[in-house]
Structure 1
Amino acid sequence: MTSSVRPILLIEDDQVDVLATRRALKEIHVDNPLVVCENGEQGLAWLRDAAEPPCLVLLDLNMPVMNGIEFLEHVKCDERLRRIPMVVLTTSEEMADKVRSFDLGIAGYMAKSLDYRRFVEVMRSIDAYRTIGGQA
């Protein structure tokens, strides 16, 4: 493993949510670079081409091309990728999405908040996953 700080992969198609995530990570002093992919297909391609895995994947569920559930189905079948901590960060309140996500091995399921202060607190709680993933 290199001495550089491993990135966080954000798979998110909403640019407002991308900006809020960047801002919240900066506010809680997370220095890991943030790599952004707009859908699961791009995220999967990035993961497969990466020299080393990210310390954490933040994943939206509702995206075009390949949604978050489809992405997780592919990751679960890939021995090299399946142990990367993945946290679903979504507006979906569907219990079926939550159950399916946990069935596919996610580390956490967090609701996006429209209130920025609450969103920062969600990101603060997710930060523990980054620390665990960084030791993998």
Structure 2
Amino acid sequence: MENILSVLLIEDNLIEIMKMERTILSLGLEHTVNVANNGEEALEILEDALRWPDLILLDLNMPRISGLEFLSILKNNEQLKHIPTVILTTSDNQKDIEECYRIGVSGYIVKPLKYNDYIDKIQNVLSYWSINEIKS
């Protein structure tokens, strides 16, 4: 049985936010998606333990605090480091991928150009984390 997830999407691009929301709706999923437009907003949300998500989807290319910086802050915080974090980005740079895994990312997804491919990837990652036994 799949659990309903609370997802924190950290994304500064409105089109990407709308694409995620549209994908969740089109898949008929009941997951809750909260959006932070940058790493600073995400850190503010995470200050409240009652708002801790089951999963974080994180873009790398953001203003103020980059995705890599945010990931480092998150994984160095004893209270927050357990939250599964999946990178969702356009960067297929091998150095970025290796650095994210070194820091402690749970997964790395390159945003595909075709919307149907995007839907498939999002469905797979959400399906996996909704059956995973780890909970925030």
The answer to whether TM tops 0.5 is yes
How many percent of aligned residue pairs carry the same amino acid?
A: 33
Q: Secondary structure at the match of 1:51?
A: helix
Shift of residue 48, structure 1, vs aligned partner: 1.6
Aligned counterpart, 1:23: 22
Alpha-carbon displacement from aligned partner over 1:36-62 (angstroms, at most 9, x marks no partner)? 011111111111224142110000000
Q: CA 1:29–1:35 in structure 2 vs 1: closer, same or farther (change >3 Å)? A: same
Question: What code does the residue aligned with 2:79 have?
Answer: R
126-135 or 54-63: which moved more?
126-135
* Residue 129 (1) aligns with residue 129 (2): yes
Aligned counterpart, 2:93: 94
* Residue 44 (1) aligns with residue 43 (2): yes
Aligned counterpart, 2:77: 78
Distance, in Å, in 1 between the alignment partners of 2:45 and 2:32 is 14
Aligned counterpart, 2:34: 35
Distance, in Å, in 2 between the alignment partners of 1:108 and 1:74 is 17
Distance, in Å, in 2 between the alignment partners of 1:13 and 1:31 is 23
Shift of residue 133, structure 1, vs aligned partner: 6.5
Alpha-carbon displacement from aligned partner over 1:75-110 (angstroms, at most 9, x marks no partner)? 111111101111000001111110111111111100
Superposition map of 1:111-126 within 5 A = 111-126=110-125
Q: Normalising by structure 2, what TM-score?
A: 0.89
After superposition, the CA RMSD in angstroms is 1.6
Distance, in Å, in 1 between the alignment partners of 2:125 and 2:87 is 10
Distance, in Å, in 2 between the alignment partners of 1:62 and 1:132 is 28
Count of aligned residue pairs for this structure pair? 132
Q: Secondary structure at the match of 2:98?
A: helix
Q: CA 1:35–1:72 in structure 2 vs 1: closer, same or farther (change >3 Å)? A: same
Question: What code does the residue aligned with 1:129 have?
Answer: W
| Contact map agreement 2:57 2:87 (CA 8 A) in 1 | yes
Q: Structure 2: 5+ residue runs without aligned partners?
A: none
Question: What code does the residue aligned with 2:113 have?
Answer: L
Distance, in Å, in 2 between the alignment partners of 1:49 and 1:6 is 17
Q: Structure 1: 5+ residue runs without aligned partners?
A: none
